Amino acid sequence: MQVHKNIFLFDGVGYDSNIYLIDGEVLVDTGTGAFFSETKDEIMKLGFGPRKIKLIVNTHCHFDHTGADKKFRDWTKAKIAIHKKDKAWLESGRNTLAESFNEQARSITVDQVLERGSKIKTKNFTFEVIHTPGHTPGSICLYEKNHGILISGDTIFSDGIGRTDYPGGSKRDLLFSIKKLTRLKVKTLLPGHGMPKIGGASLLIKQIYAIQ
């Protein structure tokens, strides 16, 4: 499903996270891997190929967002990126909650370490990394200022906020992170699970923050 010109959403089935493809160049999150071949087919059907995909960005280390990283890397040869504070857990598989999905933790090598202010550029977009700890210590959101797009991982959804009862979680940090998001001009909110909010997302973010 196209959620913005040049951005496609492959919506997560069951526990799987949403997967976004930006300009056919950058994948944001990969799901558990249970639906890898279906997602791959959909990407091909849209006319995109593995060669153009150069980077896989993980919004955080959890297995439902990163379980298919290795499969996608094998297919595309893309590099894998994550915030520095979630890097060690993704690499070791520790605290990625793989067991909750009846899977074995997978270890994976991170190629690119992200931090606050890192830029992710594609043909039509420049996303900036916003460090939004709370759900995990290295959770990030990706913000595209010119187009007003926020890819929010498990920090905020169209109908609520992320859980903070997992390892490294902090409600206080999460609320501080969401407060940062209320200051951004957002038209389109692209969350890690559930439906996107297309149009007027700034107001929604403020409303969600206000009821916490």
Task: Verify binding: residue 193, Zn ion, rule CB under 5 A.
Answer: no
Cβ proximity to Zn ion: between 62 and 83 the closer is 62
Question: What are the two backbone dihedrals, phi and then psi, of residue 116, each rounded to the nearest 5 degrees?
Answer: -50, 130
- Cα–Cα distance between 136 and 96 in angstroms, integer? 10
The size of the interface with Zn ion (CB under 5 A), counted in residues, is 2
In the list 16, 144, 154, 173, the residue contacting Zn ion (rule: CB under 5 A) is 154
**How far apart are CB 62 and Zn ion at their closest, in Å?**
3
Would you say 16 or 144 has its CB closer to Zn ion?
16
Sequence letter at residue 146:
N
Helices (H), 20-68: 36-45, 63-66
Q: Which positions from 128 to 147 touch Zn ion by CB under 5 A, shown as an x/- string?
A: --------------------
> Whole-number minimum distance, CB 65 to Zn ion, in Å?
6
Residues 175 and 162: beta-carbon distance below 8 Å: no
Q: In terms of CB distance, is 86 or 154 closer to Zn ion?
A: 154
Which span (32-40, 60-68, 110-118, 177-185) binds Zn ion, by CB under 5 A? 60-68
Q: In the 3-class helix/strand/coil scheme, how is 143-189 assigned residue by residue?
A: EECCCCEEEEECCEECCEECCCCCCCCCHHHHHHHHHHHHCCCCCEE
Residue from the set 62, 83, 131, 193 that interacts with Zn ion by CB under 5 A:
62
Bridge partner list, 20: 9, 28
Cβ proximity to Zn ion, 4 vs 62, nearer residue: 62
Stretch that binds Zn ion, among 26-34, 54-62, 144-152, 176-184 (CB under 5 A): 54-62
Residue least distant from Zn ion (Cβ): 62
Q: How buried is residue 124: exposed, middle or buried, by Cβ count under 10 Å (0-12/13-18/19+)? A: middle
Question: Which amino acid is present at 126?
Answer: T
Q: How far is the CB of 64 from Zn ion (least distance, A)?
A: 6
Stretch that binds Zn ion, among 76-84, 148-156, 167-175, 203-211 (CB under 5 A): 148-156
The window from 5-13, 61-69, 117-125, 126-134 that contacts Zn ion (CB under 5 A) reads 61-69
Where b means 16+ CB within 10 Å and e means fewer, 147-169 reads bbbbbbbbbbbbeebbebebebb
* Helices 36-45, 69-76: inter-axial angle, 10-degree rounding: 40
Interaction site with Zn ion (CB under 5 A) = 62, 154
